[in-house]
Amino acid sequence: MRVLALSAFDDADYVAGLLESGAAGYLLKEETAHTVIDALRGVACGKAGYFSPSVAAQVAAQARGETQVLNGLTAGEVAVVQLVADGQSNRAIGAALGISEKAVEKRLQRVFEKWEVKSRTEAAVRAVREGLILR
């Protein structure tokens, strides 16, 4: 039997455990329906290697021996905050990352909580200070 994990968690250790158990891929629930359907069809045909972009970045970082979290944020959260700092709307960020607008909002909320900021502007300023944005 082939397994495609669909989860709300993008914790690197959680992902690694599922992959070690033989999962053919790992998608976050925030993926578009089209992405999930394509992955399900692929797994049903015996293919593997379906990952959400932020999960793929973490798996690659782990394979290279790098830290999975940057400045307290996951790779997916960093990608969102970088695009926020570029002045992108949630809709544009979602389109750029291939995730839903609601998923962008969730990631941004987690950034606010982790960094203890209250606005997009504060998050963007902190991203610059943390060296995540080169200006």
pLDDT in tens, 61-93: 666 655 445 667 877 888 899 899 989 999 999
Q: Which residues contact 71 (CB under 8 A, 6 or more apart)?
A: 78, 130, 131, 132
Report whether pLDDT(45) > 90: yes
Rg, C-alpha atoms of the chain: 15
Q: Determine the Cα–Cα distance for residues 93 and 10; give it in Å rounded to an integer.
A: 18
The pTM of this model reads 0.54
- Nearest alpha-carbon partner for 103 in 19, 35, 12, 15: 35
Domains of the chain listed by start with CATH number: 4-63 (no CATH), 75-129 (1.10.10.10)
Residue 56: CA atoms inside 13 Å, Cβ hemisphere, count?
11
